[in-house]
Amino acid sequence: MIDLQVLWSLLPLLLLTGVFAGVLAGLLGVGGGIIIVPILFHLLTGFGIETSLAMPLAVGTSLSTIVLTSIVSARKHYLKGGVDMALVKAWSLPVLLGVVIGSLAPLVIDGAQVKTVFGFMLVIVSLHMFAGSYRNLELFEHLPKGKLQSALAILVGGFSALLGIGGGTLMVPLLTTFSFTIHRAVSTASVFGLIISVPATVVYIASGWGLADLPPFTTGYVNWVIFVIVVPMTMLFAPLGVKLAYSLNVTQLKRAFAIFLCLVGLKMVFI
């Protein structure tokens, strides 16, 4: 059990988590959740919280941090005209259906199983990122029609809510595979980050309501101390990541980060 004193003693690590997530989100175009969830999971388990509680707590808290950052990001992308509104309208309902399924899944799936799924997802994302640094991964000219497209939207919503990753981590590589430009994919995914994170956060709060052994200032599976510390850092340092993207060798950084993600993913799967 983490008491308030221990929680606040984590302040430096949580500040660094927010900085790291913000910079990499702006620099490499990855969602903050892909960084926040594994770090929070290891911090929580390191202080004695069981995996069955630590994983949904890391996921729910991650989703809550995505709400504010996605509002800012989605607004900027919308005003610049980068959002594919036709796709937003077509995918909103199936994505929301997936969010409900994914958010409720921790009620029947053990936290250790969620951890394993998250680890596999990190490995897959890292391999895609590494391969994408060498060649264009466009495989299809357009999205499939009808039920298959709806199924893709449900899967994106479901896995994003289950794993606390907002949407961009899965949606951007998916859309670029179907010939969306990277700018349009990122812009459109930013709107779905909001569509996913708001209802998913509400469900995680409700499904964890009243549980015993929660850290102080925790509502359901959302810890507000972590929220207050991490969110300002991600919002402050994301613009720095964007600036660095124009002065650093992003291709080499993507490859290094992909290897790092793969190692973290393998650790979550096997340890």
pLDDT digits (tens, 9 = 90+) for 193-206: 889 999 999 999 99
| Distance, CA of 231 to CA of 253 (rounded, Å) | 24
pTM, entire model: 0.90
74 near 190, Cβ under 8 Å? Answer: yes
Residue 117, pLDDT > 90, answer yes
29 near 168, Cβ under 8 Å? Answer: yes
Convert the pLDDT of each residue in 129-185 to its tens digit: 899 888 888 888 889 988 999 999 999 999 999 999 877 788 888 898 998 887 888
Q: Which residues pair with 222 in a beta bridge?
A: 219
Mean pLDDT, residues 233-259 = 84
- The single-letter code of the amino acid at 143 is L
